[in-house]
Structure 1
Amino acid sequence: MIRINILVGDESHGLELFNGYWRPIFLHHELFKGLQIEFKFFFKISKHIYNGDFLIISSRFFGKLTSDPKNNFVLKFLKNLNKKNIKIIWFDLRDSAGTTQFQVLPYVDFYVKKQLYKDFKIYTKNLYGGREYSNYYYENYGIKDKDLYLMTKLDLKYKEKILLGWNLGVRNFKYYAKPKFNKISLFLKNKIEYYLNKNISCDELVLFSSRKKKYNLFANNRTQISRNTVRFQRELFKRKINQTIFNDSLIDVNIDFNNFYKILSETKILLSLFGWGEVCYKEFEATVCGCSFIAPEMSNILTWPNIYRKKVTYIPVDWSLNNLNSVLSMLIRNDDLRYKLVINAQNEIISVSKENGKRFLNKLFRRFIN
């Protein structure tokens, strides 16, 4: 039996463990049983994390310590791990394809990230603001940050260590719409199943795809982001959007979480702009609720599950947002296209728990163990 220990961070606290980022491991219990892999989760460093063949480390375990590429605490911990008879797999859970933690590459066996640039040469360059889009706004609009983004450029000799993992679209979105009592009840049930080494009960995803909608557009992209080059796209939106042509829309309107899914199910289009990263929960939540989405161009990104396939699962807008109003107007009028986009994107999300998800995980974990 191959023992894989997982040192997790705040992405797995409480109710998140079985229904959040690590959900694929529980979804595909039979796959890992066939691969003779058993997992054990740890929430703190102890001698027991070394009792295995592999140690997966969530970057979020160390919090902001990984923001500084020269932080000695993290690197010293990894150097000491190298003295143990255990392989190290670093899971980079940072928000953007550009915000990497390549300083750990010399000390780990594999480096897994939930989204990557297709062109690895980008990682060998200095990206202003740490992201390709923040660099774009610096070069084309003269936007500058108060503090320079600190990053370690990729040494291409470590390229083969870098693998694409899964993104935040694997979570159980049905679970987060449940009343709190039901959530706690399911969590306790899952925890008992986990400790008894039984299959975890995973809800089937409930999807909506009604053509009848109350609102044309929902666009609430907050600008409380400290880094200027990251925030700028959302500020640019306020200058570019022509609100007079979008009736029956919710633009810069705060919706409380209890009504969020209901509003999405009643809306034709969600506009989701880049924030700290490219991939956001909102696109997946909209898809689950039967709302098509428009987002900035994503053809430079590798990610899975991939609901960012141009004109197949979503409609992109240019990073300049020059075509924003025309793209929104076109999609609002086109019921058939919106319906097709939603169904295709929903099928991608559903595939996580089906054969497609099994193939993805099988390929990834066989790379680790072979």
Structure 2
Amino acid sequence: MIFMRALLIGNSKNKLDNIAAAQLYPFFLYRRQLRRRTCLEFKHIQAYTFSDICDACTKKNVDVIIIRPDWREDSETAERSLQYIRKHNPYKKIIFLDPFDQTSSRYFSILPYVNQFLKYQRLKDVKQYTRPFVGGSFLTDYLANELNYDLNNWHVGSPAPEGYESRIGTYWNFATSQGFYKLFRKPARHTVVKDIDIFCRLSFGPPEQVEWYGQYRLAAVQALIPLEAQYKLAVDRSPEGARSISSKQYLDEIQRSRIVFSPFGWGEVTWRDYEAACHGCLLIKPSVDHIDTQPNIFYPGKTYVPVRWDFQDLEEKCRYYLENPDEAQQIV
């Protein structure tokens, strides 16, 4: 039997980066299955910087190099490093796992040097990556052009080199984390009383300087406020208030909630989306029809309820499903 040998380079420690750790976790969890079913063997090297990644790529007896870097290094360092890695590994398959939460990336300039450039959420239409976006991403472009947000020079993005956009693909997101795995493996517990109508606990970023990310989420919360006269809400109204909520309270409240409203964060898909699914809540969030992610739990009207990006129909949708629990239950 001929095995494919892979070198997996990146951070697998939660304390350093919980998203990176979540995305590498399946390799370790299913190591034996990968070997038995796909004839894939891998060696992992813990690395954080592009310098460390370049050093790790000197190993010769591998067929595939899988790289998951940190997001904090600049695009010039990324391009220079991948150019070096390709030069010294001309015949090996190089798979790059992009670290950015957005559908965009600062690292698209490396596309000529990799076989695949995989994101955990990407635009379905990859041709769009060849055009510039205000703020770098599809989301920030919308906020700036349609809602007149001042991004204050914030920019995370880069244009994909023409002809290489087809190399941009999708791989699994943070729903593969060890925490979600353990949650799915737990035996079914007694039914939790759903005594909270709408849950929307959020982070807004640093309270001393609320950027577009926090402004958009504050607008989302404001769209829910008209409902509080009739329904019980668990929401954060300010950056200061959000910091006072413990993880224990967050978990307790989401389990007791009928609806989880999950606005976008730095990217469109958030941990809260999958937490809602795990705890039997109706997920309502701005439409994500434009993205591809795995695992995909976003089927409009079947697994979640999409709303407009400007929240104009949010109150109406929440009221409808709170007043029609049988229809809500079909989606949950």
**TM over 0.5: same fold?**
yes
The aligned counterpart of 1:197 is none
2:231 to 240, 247, 257: 247
- Higher relative contact order (Cα pairs below 8 Å, separated by 6+ residues): 1
Cα 1:274–1:341 shift into 2, 3 Å: same
Classify 1:47/1:222 alpha carbon distance in 2 versus 1 (closer, same or farther; 3 Å): closer
**Percent of pairs identical after alignment?**
23
- How far apart are the structure 2 equivalents of 1:19 and 1:143? 33
5+ residue gaps, structure 1: 178-202, 343-370
**TM-score scaled to structure 2, two decimals?**
0.83
Root-mean-square deviation over aligned CA pairs = 2.8
Aligned to 1:357: none
Q: How does 1:104-143 map to 2 (within 5 A)?
A: 104-143=110-149
Q: Does 1:297 align with 2:299?
A: no
2:72 matched to which residue of 1? 64
**In the alignment, which residue of structure 2 is the partner of 1:217?**
198
Alignment partner for residue 24 of structure 1, among 11, 23, 26? Answer: 26
Summarize deviations over 1:159-194 as a string: whole Å, max 9, x none.
2322211111122335677xxxxxxxxxxxxxxxxx
Quick one: which amino acid aligns to residue 21 of structure 1? Q
- Residue 262 of structure 2 corresponds to 272
The letter for the 1-side match of 2:38 is L
How far off is 1:220 after superposition? 1.7
- The offset of 1:19, in angstroms, is 7.6
Counting only pairs closer than 5 Å after superposition, residues 1-370 of structure 1 correspond to structure 2 as 1-9=3-11, 20-28=22-30, 29-44=32-47, 45=52, 46-47=55-56, 50-51=59-60, 52-60=62-70, 63-65=71-73, 68-69=74-75, 71=76, 73-85=77-89, 86-149=92-155, 151-174=157-180, 204=185, 206=187, 210=191, 212-224=193-205, 228-241=211-224, 242-252=226-236, 254=242, 255-342=245-332
Residue 282 of structure 2 aligns with an amino acid whose one-letter code is: S
Q: Deviations over 1:55-110 (max 9, x none)?
A: 111032xx311xx33x2x32222222123233321101311112352111122121
Task: Give 3-state SS (helix, strand or coil) of 1:294's partner.
Answer: strand
TM value normalised by structure 1? 0.75
- In terms of fraction of residues, the more helix-rich structure is 1
User: What secondary structure is seen at the aligned counterpart in 1 of 2:228?
Assistant: helix
**Number of residue pairs matched by the alignment:** 311
SS in 2 for 1:149: coil
> Alpha-carbon deviations, 1:241-296, whole Å to 9, x = none?
21434422212164311233222221101111111011111111121111221111
Aligned partner of 1:237: which letter? A
Query: Using a 3 Å threshold, how does the CA distance of structure 1 residues 206 and 103 change in structure 2: closer, same or farther?
Result: farther
